[in-house]
């Protein structure tokens, strides 16, 4: 089959059989979102900061290895690390307060 210019017909984008569109960094965005959730949630409940921070950090490292958008990945990694630190500090403060009671 050929089109009007004489070349082969190629499937249109997003049709079955077409190559998948380049995903613009779902892991990077997930890392950034979990970093934000971890920082904000970690202020109120330490476990949220630690869990969201660890998951966000892992996703950020995976996204970095796959070469996804560098700015978002770096933001997600940094915020996730901060969330982990906030969670650990929250547990330390809780331990200090409970030991003084």
Residues 6 or more apart whose CB falls under 8 angstroms from that of 27 comprise 59, 60, 62, 63, 66, 68
Give the pLDDT score at 88: 96
Asked whether the whole model's pTM tops 0.75, one would answer no
Domain chopping of the chain, boundaries:
28-100
Give the pLDDT score at 68: 76
| Mean per-residue pLDDT pooled into runs of 10, the chain (101 residues) | 58 60 76 96 93 96 87 94 96 92 72
pLDDT tens across 35-62, in order? 999 999 999 999 999 999 999 999 999 9
């Amino acid at each position: 089959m050929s089109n009007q210019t004489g070349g082969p017909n190629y499937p249109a984008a997003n049709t079955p059989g077409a190559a998948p569109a380049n995903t613009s960094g779902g892991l990077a965005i997930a890392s950034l979102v979990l970093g934000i959730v971890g920082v904000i949630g970690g202020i109120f409940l330490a476990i949220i900061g630690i869990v969201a921070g660890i998951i966000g950090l892992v996703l950020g490292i995976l996204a970095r290895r796959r070469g996804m958008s560098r700015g978002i990945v770096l933001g997600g990694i940094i915020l996730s690390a901060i969330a982990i630190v906030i969670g650990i500090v929250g547990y330390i403060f809780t331990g200090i307060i409970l030991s003084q009671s």
